[in-house]
């Protein structure tokens, strides 16, 4: 069937190509007739070959380096592109390159987590002797965080299926099951992407104030707090968390924009633009997945007590004073001279 369609297209191109140096075939349209029918050949793109030459070139296994072009009588000019050399580059990237990129990024993320676990260990804390807890994230903050997180995990799983599915899943799932799953995965990916984009936009607006970099963040970096169990002064978010925030917001917005544009195939950026969009989208997605793997580790096992901030909303007072002393003082007031901590309100 594909061969038949290709033959038909070749035939179309061959029939419609207006030769320079040979008499036109009996069925060829004159330029006036073509104009009357709404076909306006581009003067700067005149046919570069005769019918015979065009058909001979298209039949070759290796195409010549020069561009070969003719006329096609199709209202949609994009359909007149029979062979797009960039398409082969993109196909190689799509089939092979993305697997390597995602494989390396995922491997590096897992390696980094293992190194952190070995070098830094679990960051434990002593609970406040009086059991006091303070609010760290409001319900709306947690809602936005989990909406973004749940949608991102769904997007990552369905997206990774596009990259590794044919290699890892199709052989043991079978063609039919894998095809059905991938088709549904694409619909889920497209639909859930909007929830992710909404979450990212909400995060960008709600948390930007707390994630602006200040001088104290430089102190946090220099202390090596990411790799050692030292507790440098930090605001509501430490410098590492701020990096994750900006990575998630900027990366998420870029993923959203490229993703939405890819849902409008060809109509906005053309064929070559679509290939670039897909390339940028998949590389960014790999970087985001690696970033979020680190975030998940540090937010759960790596730093004890931090998961409660997003599961319950409040955190132990001693934990807060250990990890985010500047935030505690700023939000809840300084300690009294007698050493007791009392919230400002």
Partner 1 sequence: MRAFLLACVGVLAVAFGAYALLEGVLARNAGTEFAVKGSTRVSEADKVDPRGYLSSVHEPAGGVSSGRDGGRAVGGPAKDRGRPAEATEGKR
3-state secondary structure the chain: CHHHHHHHHHHHHHHHCCCCCCCCCCCCCCHHHHHHCCCCCCHHHCCCCCHHHHHHHHHCCCCCCCCCCCCCCCCCHHHHCCCCHHHHHHHHHHHHHHHHHHHHHHHHHHHHHHHHHHHCCCECCCCCCCCCEEECCCHHHHHHHHHHHHHHHHHHHHHHHHHHHHHHCHHHHCHHHHHHHHHHHHHHHHHHHHHHHHHHHHHHHHHCHHHCCCHHHHHHHHHCCCCCCCCCCCCCCCHHHHHHHHHHHHHHHHHHHHHHHHCCCCCCCHHHHHHHHHHHHHHHHHHHHHHHHHHHHHHHHHECCHHHHHHCCEEEHHHHHHHCHHHHHHHHCCECCCCCECCCC
Considering the complex, what minimum distance in angstroms separates the CB of residue 256 from partner 1?
12
Q: Which of 313, 314, 325, 331 binds partner 1 (CB under 8 A)?
A: 313
Please tell me whether residue 139 binds partner 1 under the rule CB under 8 A: yes
Q: Which of 100, 263, 334, 343 binds partner 1 (CB under 8 A)?
A: 263
Judged by CB under 8 A, which stretch of 9-17, 91-99, 117-125, 270-278 contacts partner 1?
Answer: 9-17
Judged by CB under 8 A, which stretch of 23-31, 115-123, 214-222, 230-238 contacts partner 1?
Answer: 23-31
Footprint (CB under 8 A) of partner 1, residues 158-187: 187
Please tell me whether residue 146 binds partner 1 under the rule CB under 8 A: yes
Torsion of CA 231, 233, 236, 238, to 10 degrees: -60
Q: Which of 10, 82, 173, 188 binds partner 1 (CB under 8 A)?
A: 188
Size of the site for partner 1 (CB under 8 A): 36
Torsion of CA 162, 166, 167, 173, to 10 degrees: 120
Q: Which of 57, 135, 150, 331 binds partner 1 (CB under 8 A)?
A: 150
Considering the complex, what minimum distance in angstroms separates the CB of residue 146 from partner 1?
3
Closest to partner 1 by CB, 13 vs 134, is: 13
Footprint (CB under 8 A) of partner 1, residues 58-97: 73-75
Closest to partner 1 by CB, 49 vs 154, is: 154
Q: Which of 2, 4, 42, 209 binds partner 1 (CB under 8 A)?
A: 4
Please tell me whether residue 147 binds partner 1 under the rule CB under 8 A: yes
The answer to whether 293 touches 113, Cβ cutoff 8 Å, is yes
Site string for partner 1, 268-287 (x = CB under 8 A): --------------------
Q: Which of 35, 37, 213, 227 binds partner 1 (CB under 8 A)?
A: 37
Considering the complex, what minimum distance in angstroms separates the CB of residue 204 from partner 1?
17
Q: Which of 95, 114, 183, 191 binds partner 1 (CB under 8 A)?
A: 191
Chain contacts with partner 1 (rule: CB under 8 A): 4, 8, 11-12, 15-16, 26-27, 29, 37, 73-75, 139, 142-147, 149-151, 154, 187-188, 190-195, 198, 263, 311, 313
């Amino acid at each position: 069937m594909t061969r038949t369609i290709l033959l038909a297209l070749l035939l179309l191109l061959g029939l419609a190509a207006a030769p320079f140096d040979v008499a036109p075939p009996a069925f060829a349209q004159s330029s006036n007739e073509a104009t009357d029918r709404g076909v306006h050949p581009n003067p700067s793109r005149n046919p570069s070959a005769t019918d015979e030459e065009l058909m001979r070139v298209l039949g070759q296994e290796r195409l010549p380096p020069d561009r070969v072009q003719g006329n096609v009588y199709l209202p949609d000019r994009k359909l007149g592109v029979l062979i797009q050399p960039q398409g082969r580059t993109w196909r190689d990237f799509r089939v092979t390159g993305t697997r390597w990129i995602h494989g390396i990024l995922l491997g590096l993320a897992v390696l980094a987590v293992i190194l952190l676990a070995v070098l830094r260990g679990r960051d434990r804390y002593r609970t406040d002797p009086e059991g006091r807890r303070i609010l760290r994230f409001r319900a709306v903050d947690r809602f936005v965080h989990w909406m973004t997180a749940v949608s991102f995990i769904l997007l990552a799983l369905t997206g990774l299926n596009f990259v590794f599915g044919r290699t890892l899943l199709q052989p043991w799932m079978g063609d039919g099951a894998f095809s059905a799953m991938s088709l549904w995965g694409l619909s889920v990916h497209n639909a859930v992407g909007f929830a992710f984009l909404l979450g990212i936009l909400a995060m960008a607006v709600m948390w930007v104030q707390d994630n602006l970099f200040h001088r104290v963040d430089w102190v946090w970096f220099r202390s090596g707090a990411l790799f050692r169990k030292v507790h440098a002064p930090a605001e509501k978010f430490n410098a590492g968390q701020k990096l994750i925030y900006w990575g998630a917001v900027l990366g998420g917005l870029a993923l959203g924009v490229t993703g939405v544009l890819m849902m409008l195939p060809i109509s906005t950026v053309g064929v070559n633009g679509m290939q670039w969009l897909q390339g940028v989208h998949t590389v960014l997605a790999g970087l985001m997945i690696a970033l979020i793997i680190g975030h998940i580790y540090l937010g759960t096992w790596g730093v004890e007590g931090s998961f409660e901030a997003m599961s319950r909303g409040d955190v132990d007072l001693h934990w807060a004073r250990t990890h985010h002393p500047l935030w505690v003082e700023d939000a809840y007031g300084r300690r009294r001279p007698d050493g007791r901590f009392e919230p400002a309100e």
